A and B are shown apart, each in its own frame.
Chain A
Amino acid sequence: MPAIETINLAKTYAVGFWRRKPRTALLPLNLQIEEGEIFGFLGPNGAGKTTTLKLLTGIVFPSSGTARILGKEVDDPGVKAQIGFLPEQPYFYDYLTAKELLEYYGQLSGVPAKDLSSRVNEMLSRVGLSDAARTQLRKFSKGMLQRVGLAQAILHDPKVVFLDEPMSGLDPIGRREVRELIQQLKQEGKTVFFSTHILSDAEALCDRVAVIHKGELRGVGAVAELTAQVHGKVEITFNASAAPAALRQLGADMHINGNIVSAVLPEENQEAALEVLKRERLRLTSLTPVRSSLEEYYVQNLQPAEKSMGVGA
């Protein structure tokens, strides 16, 4: 049984005051995420990531299709007890202290009263906020609010955790801590579904990722599978005092270090490049395929539609 499953899940909003027009936020989406997976949901701003998360957490209702968590419909209260959710740029009741907020959420999630206090303290310690437990949230920085958000998402020991841009607003150390936290959640057997536009985070953490753009799923699979679809490149290094002009014509990006030249060029021009070296009587030192990154897949996948406007951050 998949931990998360969407079947033709779609969302259309009516916009405008008079003569309301439909605006598609999510085209029919079909996804299956297995238990224990870390799943990255990638896409530029406005791609439909947050809409999908809201649909999966019951905050908005689908226009068509269904979503199932652990085999049950999203609006089943039994399901809600099994999910944790960190919204994007979370805003909490700022008149409460961090401890009070977590206690309130713990009560709503059905954490037994006898375990509540210890559970809250454990969560605050886990996100590095023990010292600020009795500080009102209105005095918290953006990064501290993000940490509280993470604590409330995992407070009730959910099986499935949804995180919307969890690294947002965090400094490099904070980001690393969140990465570690997500990995710990996986080790605990939880399923983590997180949206991000920071590709290095997704690449480092995810078992599988999906790329969404303008409400449409553009690709889904393991990072290695997706990057294998990127048009490959090779790096050749050779001894020379200057870069041969013929290689530039083959689309090579060249760097010279002393008398060693390194040229990265499309895989399909590899043979032609070797011919150039032979003709110029240059000695080949190495030829290595360049590993494609998720960023290259992402840019290549979204670029045709974005050429005129640039990819969103």
Chain B
Amino acid sequence: MNSRIANVAFNTFREAVRDRVLYNLIAFALLLSAAAILVGQISIDIERLVVVNLGLTAVTLFGVVIAIFIGIGLVSKEIEKRTLYTVLSRPVRRWEFVVGKFLGLTGTLLVNTFFMAIGVFLALLYVSRHFERGDFSITAALYFIILQFLIVCSLALLFSSFSSPLLSAVFTFALFVIGSLAEDLRGFAAAAKGITAMLAGTVAYLVPNFSAMNVVNQVAHGEPVSGQLILCNTVYALLYSAMAISGAVLIFQRRNLK
């Protein structure tokens, strides 16, 4: 990686850490501990299912909230506060800045997810007393969650490059929700006719397909995740976020900073 991108990324990560973004881990730990203790007391043989479901859903929601709320401010906050002036007057290309900011936030989410994943496994150990062979597939679910974060970050960055932070947050969250229902939307498009089918089909294929990356239920039941799905989701997430970042770069390249 070029050193300027790495420097911008590291500074973005440092900003998130110093702005106490990782404090969300405390809330996550409290939530999961409470859930594990509660489920442990109920003990009706669904402890594992509940803990994995709740844990992975919490990892997704905590991460998505961070990805959206930091993502929308990655560039717009720097423009608003004019911290960009002293960066862009240096030999830093605008695309390097955007990519660096994106990677910095992605790094923050990776670290955050890593600690949350430890929390999920500890809670699982607490309720099951031991790990099972099928628990390994939880790592695949966590990997897919990280892929979702990549797309959410890139979308937040794209929207914030041309709209206000509030609208960017609304757009990104709306796309996350619609994208989580992408498979249903595709099903609806297949069942519909005429212009409705065409519209639903177009939207279903344009929005990010988060539902294909949601294997939480599957792994909670101890079912494995296929290698083919891992490959397809990886390629899809990388391409989708690369396109969104390219869009953000194209807009930012031409933008006058006031």
Contacts and interface: CB of A to CB of B under 8 A. Distances in A.
B4 A108 contact: yes
A80 B83 contact: no
A85 interface: yes
A54 interface: yes
B257 A57 contact: no
A57 B86 CA distance: 9
Interface residues of B, number: 26
A172 interface: no
Interface in A79-118: 80-81, 83-85, 87, 90-93, 95-96, 104-105, 107-110
Interface string B47-89: 0000000000000000000000000000000000111111111
A108 B85 contact: no
Interface string A155-170: 0100000100000000
A148 to B, nearest CB: 10
B25 to A, nearest CB: 19
A152 interface: yes
A54 B85 CA distance: 8
Nearest to B78: A93
Contact of A59 (B7, B88, B91): B88
Given A81-B91, A107-B3, A108-B91, A92 B86 contact: yes
Contacts of A57: 85, 88-89
A95 B17 CA distance: 10
Interface in A53-84: 54, 57-61, 77-78, 80-81, 83-84
Contacts of B11: 93, 96, 104
A289 to B, nearest CB: 44
A95 B14 contact: yes
Interface in B23-67: none
Which A-B residue pairs are the 8 nearest by beta carbons?
A85-B89, A95-B18, A57-B89, A80-B91, A60-B256, A87-B85, A77-B91, A107-B7
19 contacts: A59-B84, A59-B89, A59-B256, A59-B257, A80-B89, A80-B90, A80-B91, A83-B89, A87-B86, A90-B82, A90-B85, A91-B82, A91-B83, A92-B83, A95-B14, A104-B7, A107-B3, A109-B90, A109-B91
Interface of A: 13, 54, 57-61, 77-78, 80-81, 83-85, 87, 90-93, 95-96, 104-105, 107-110, 149, 152, 156, 162
Given A54-B85, A95-B18, 11 more contacts: A13-B258, A59-B88, A59-B89, A59-B257, A60-B257, A90-B85, A91-B82, A104-B11, A105-B90, A109-B91, A110-B91
